[in-house]
Structure 1
Amino acid sequence: MKAIKPWYFSRTIWASIITVVTGAAGVAGLPVEATHGALLTDTLLQGVSAISGLIAILGRLSAKDRIG
C-alpha cells in the first residue's frame, strides 16, 4: 500500500464514527436500532464528497494565483 488518501475518504473511519455515534445515541436513549449502518455510512460519504467538491470549486474561484 503505497497510495495515501486523506482520512475522510476511508470507509473504515466513517463506519467507525457511525458506530460510535449510534452507540452513544443508544446510551442517550435515542431509538437507533432501525438505522442501517452501511446505508448511513454511504450517505455520509456522499455528503462529504459533495462538500469537498464545493470547497474545491469555491477555493479555485477565490484563488489569487494561477495554476501551472
Structure 2
Amino acid sequence: MPRMKKLYHLRWGIESSFRKLKYDLGCIQFHSKQDNFIEMEIYAHMIMFNTVSQINAQAYVPQ
C-alpha cells in the first residue's frame, strides 16, 4: 500500500502539469474533430504561446 501511495503521488504531479499546460496553451476546445487538424491546432497554440512568452520576457516595464 505505501508503494501505491507513492506511485499515485508521482502521477498526480504529472497530471497537474498536463492540466496547467492544457489551460495555458488554450487547448480546451478544438475547432475540428479530425486528428491531423487537432494536431495542427495544438502546434499553432504552442507557437503562439512561445512567441508571446518571448515578447513578454523581453518587455521592459519601468518602475
Aligned counterparts of 2:29 and 2:40: Cα–Cα separation in 1: 10
- Runs of 4+ aligned structure 1 residues displaced above 4 Å come to none
Q: Which has the higher contact order (CA 8 A, sep 6+)?
A: 1
Equivalent residue pairs, number: 45
Partner of 2:46: 49
Aligned counterparts of 1:43 and 1:14: Cα–Cα separation in 2: 13
Partner of 1:18: 32
Q: CA deviation at 1:9?
A: 5.9
Going by fraction, where is helix more abundant, 1 or 2?
A: 2
List alignment gaps of at least 5 residues for structure 1: 20-36
| Identical positions, percent | 4
Aligned counterparts of 2:49 and 2:60: Cα–Cα separation in 1: 16
Q: CA deviation at 1:18?
A: 2.0
Q: CA RMSD in A?
A: 2.5
Q: CA deviation at 1:61?
A: 0.4
Contact 1:14–1:41, Cα closer than 8 Å, also in 2 = no
Partner of 1:58: 55
Q: Under a length normalisation based on structure 2, what TM-score does the superposition of the two structures give?
A: 0.52
